[in-house]
Structure 1
Amino acid sequence: MSLVANYMQYIVFFDKRFLRQSINELKSITGESKISKYLSDSIIIVDTGEKEADLKAIYDSVFLYKAEELLFEVDVSSGYAGLEEKLAGVQKEKKYQSSKTEVLKETAIDERNAKSIEVEIGTGMEKYGAKIDLVNPSAVFHIIINGGTAYVSIAGSSNAYGATLDYFRHRNMDKDILENGISRAEFKIQEAMGYFDIKIGKGFRALDIGAAPGGWSRYLMKNGASVVAIDAGRINYSAMPENSRIAVVLGKEREIADAEGIDVLDMEKLDESAKSYGLLHIKELFENIKISELVKLGPFDIMCIDINIPAQESAIIAAVCSEALKKGAFLILTLKMTDDRIEQAIAKSKEALGATYEGMRVKKLPHDRKELTLFAVKI
C-alpha cells in the first residue's frame, strides 16, 4: 500500500442487490477515477485523499455500508505465514493489547471454511508474539481472501463510521437474538437503532405494524417498551421477555390457538387499562382497524412498520398513523423494493411522509434484503 502523503486506500462494502445504485453513489462521493479494484460485486477498493470527508459521506449514504482503511495486501497462495507475521507486526506497532481476525472468502484458493482459516492465522500470529482474544479484542482485523491475495483492514479502526454496519455481520450477531430471537427482523431493528442512534427504554410505548411473528416486538419489549402489535398473523408469545403481561384483541373471525396465560380483550371495550400490557396484540388486518382506536391506545414514542407491500403504500400507512404518535416520536419504516425503480420508490415514499415527518434518512442495512430502512421524526 502506498504511503504517499494524502493518498490512502479504502475497502468499501455494499450489497450486490443494489449494485448500480451503490456504484453510482460511490462515484458521486469519490469520483470515478478513484475506484481502484473490484474484489467482488459487493466489495471495491477505492483511492482517496479526502479521508474523513469520504468516510463520513459513505457512512451517510443510502446504499454503501461502510469503508475501512486498507492496511496492506499480501500473497497467500503458498500459505499464511507472511500474513501472520504482518498482522502480528501491526498489532505491536499500533500497540493493541490483543486482536482477533475475521475472514471473508470471495474466490479463495483455500477450500476450507473461513473459521478454519481464522484459527490457523490466529495460531500463527501467536507464534510471532501477538495476543489473540476472541471475546474482547482491542482490534479486529478483517481479511478478505480473493484468489491468492489477502486484503487486510481493521474494523472501525480509522473512524467512528460503520461500527454498526458490519459487512461481516454473520460473525458478529447479537447472542441473545441468535439464541432466543424469533426472526431475522430482530437484527434489522437492532441495526436501525444503532445506525440512526435511537434510544428507547422503560416507559416507552411502541406501535409495531406488520408485527408477526413478533421479532420487532420482542426487541422493543426487551429494551423496555410496551408494545401494541398489529398483525392478523400469529405472534410467538412464548418468546417474549419473561413475565410479560400479554393480551390479544381478536379481529372478526380470528382465533387464538393457545390462550393459556393470555388475556383476550374486546376492541370495543378497550380502556386505559389496556396500556398496562407489555404486549397488546391486535390480531386483525391493518385496513380493518380504525385510526381512532390506535389514537386511544397512544400516544406512541416509536412506530415500526415492516409489511410486505410496495414502499409507497407502507409510507402512506405511516402518514395516516402519525395521528397516534407523540411529537418527536421515531419512525422506523421498511421500504420494500418490488421492482427496479428504486430511486422513484424512495422519492415517492418521502413525498408521502413529508407533511407529517421530518429528518428523513434512508439506509440499506446489512440485514435488509431487497429493501431499505427509512427513519424519520414526527413533526
Structure 2
Amino acid sequence: MIEQSHPAGASQFVVTSNRGFAAYAQDELRALAPGTKFAELIAGETYAMRIPLGREEAIAAVLRQEPIFLRHMHPIDAEIACAGTDGDIAPIVSAIVRLYDPADRGAAIAVQIRKAEGFHPGYETGALRDAVSAALKEANETEMVVKDAKRIVSVFLNNGVAYIGISPPEYNLSDWPGGAVRFRKEEGQASRAKFKLLEAEYAFGLDLSGFRKALDIGAAPGGWTSLLLERGAEVTAVDPAVLHPELLTHPRLTHLKRNAGDVQFPPDTFDLLVCDMSWSPKQMIKLLLPLLAALQPGGTAVITLKLMHGKPFQTVKDSVRAMQPDMELHKAKQLFHNRDELTVYLRKRR
C-alpha cells in the first residue's frame, strides 16, 4: 500500500551534499523554511528532509535560492515498506506505476536507485531498476535513458522503507544519481581537475565553446587549460610550474612560466578568466584583483575557493566583496568534484 508523504503544508525529500558538508546544506534549507527537519540516511551526506512547505512550493523555494551545499534532491512522493527481500520489488514497482503521470506517456525516463549505508537487500539494485523500467515501458511506453530524461524515477532504499519520487531533472538540481557527476578519465589527461571545470560548465549552464580568449591562473599541470583548448579557445596559462607535455606544442596555448603577481595584460584582452589555485581565498583574490582589468565587460570568471577555516558562507561573501564593484556573483556551488572547496561563477559588469 502506498503511504503518501506530503500532507497539506508539508513535504519530504531525499537531499544529498558532499560528505562532511551536510550541516551547511541543512542550515541553508532551514533558512529557506524554519522548522525543516532531517533524518540521516548516509552519514554526513544524505538525509530525509521534512520541510513545512508543500511539494511544489518547496521546490520553487530551492530553485529560486539554490543552496550552495545542496548537491541533489528528489521528492518523496510515496513510502513503501522495504524488508530487504525479493518481496520488496513488486510493491515498489506497483507504486511507481500508479504514481506515474499518464500525460508523460512515451516520455524518456531515467530510473535512479540508491540505498542507505548498512542496508544490504537480498537483490541487486539493477534487478529492481530493470523491473521498474519494464513495468513503465509496458504501462506507458516509456523510453529508458541514462541522460536527457524528461522524468527521473528516484528510489532510495532504507532499512524498513523505500522512498519513491518522480520529477523532472531540474527539480532534482542534477540529473545524475545523487548528484554524483561521473566523467571518464581519458588517456593522457593532464589532471582530474579537468572534471571540476567540466562539472562547472554543466552546473552553471555555461558553454565553454563560446569563449574566444581565456586566461588560466595557476594553470599547472593543465587540466583546465586542456579543456579550454578542446573547446576552441586561445588560452594564456600562467604558472611557474610545468604543464603536461602534450599541451606544450598546442598552437593556441601561450604558457607564461611566471607567478600571477608578476604578469599584466592590456585591458579587455580576455572574455574568460579561470583559477583553480590551492591558495587561501584571501591570497588568491589579492593576486586576481589586478588581473580583472584584462577581463572584458560582460566577461566570465570561474574560480575555486578553498574552505580553509570552516566559515564557507563568510568566505564567499568576503571574496565577492573584494572583487566588487567590477564583478557580480551569479552562482556559488560546492560541486561533486570539489572537496574542501567550492566554485563560484561571476560576470564582469558592463
TM bracket, shorter-chain basis: 0.7 to 0.9
- How has the CA–CA distance of structure 1 residues 318 and 112 changed in structure 2, closer, same or farther, with 3 Å as cutoff? farther
- How has the CA–CA distance of structure 1 residues 155 and 311 changed in structure 2, closer, same or farther, with 3 Å as cutoff? farther
**Which protein is bigger by CA-based radius of gyration?**
1
Measured after TM superposition, the shift of residue 101 of structure 1 is 2.1
Distance between the aligned counterparts of 2:133 and 2:172, measured in 1? 26
Could you say which residue in structure 2 is the equivalent of 1:133? 144
Counterpart AA for 2:236 = V
Counterpart AA for 1:72 = A
User: What does residue range 153-172 of structure 1 map to in structure 2 within 5 Å?
Assistant: 153-154=165-166, 156-157=168-169, 160-164=170-174, 166=176, 168-170=178-180
- How has the CA–CA distance of structure 1 residues 54 and 88 changed in structure 2, closer, same or farther, with 3 Å as cutoff? closer
Distance between the aligned counterparts of 1:334 and 1:165, measured in 2? 23
**Correspondence 1:173 to 2:182:** yes
* Alignment gaps of 5+ in structure 1: 239-245, 249-261, 264-276
Identity %: 22
**Correspondence 1:144 to 2:156:** yes
- In the TM superposition, what whole-angstrom CA distance separates every residue of 1:204-257 from its partner, at most 9, and x where no partner exists? 11111122222212222222222111223333353xxxxxxx6x5xxxxxxxxx
* Alignment gaps of 5+ in structure 2: none
Could you say which residue in structure 2 is the equivalent of 1:331? 301
- How has the CA–CA distance of structure 1 residues 106 and 328 changed in structure 2, closer, same or farther, with 3 Å as cutoff? same
Cα RMSD, aligned residues only? 3.1
Counterpart AA for 1:152 = I
Distance between the aligned counterparts of 2:255 and 2:122, measured in 1? 46
The alignment's TM-score, normalised by the length of structure 2, stands at 0.81
Could you say which residue in structure 2 is the equivalent of 1:106? 116
Measured after TM superposition, the shift of residue 74 of structure 1 is 1.6
Q: How many residues align?
A: 334
Could you say which residue in structure 1 is the equivalent of 2:333? 363
**Correspondence 1:63 to 2:69:** yes
Measured after TM superposition, the shift of residue 135 of structure 1 is 4.4
Measured after TM superposition, the shift of residue 167 of structure 1 is 5.5
Distance between the aligned counterparts of 1:200 and 1:332, measured in 2? 11
- How has the CA–CA distance of structure 1 residues 105 and 51 changed in structure 2, closer, same or farther, with 3 Å as cutoff? closer
- How has the CA–CA distance of structure 1 residues 202 and 9 changed in structure 2, closer, same or farther, with 3 Å as cutoff? closer
Could you say which residue in structure 2 is the equivalent of 1:190? 198
Could you say which residue in structure 2 is the equivalent of 1:85? 94
Distance between the aligned counterparts of 1:106 and 1:285, measured in 2? 46
- How has the CA–CA distance of structure 1 residues 182 and 149 changed in structure 2, closer, same or farther, with 3 Å as cutoff? farther
The alignment's TM-score, normalised by the length of structure 1, stands at 0.76
Counterpart AA for 2:194 = E
User: What does residue range 286-301 of structure 1 map to in structure 2 within 5 Å?
Assistant: 286-287=260-261, 289-291=262-264, 294-295=265-266, 299-301=269-271
Could you say which residue in structure 1 is the equivalent of 2:17? 14
**Contact 2:153-2:166 at 8 Å conserved across structures:** yes
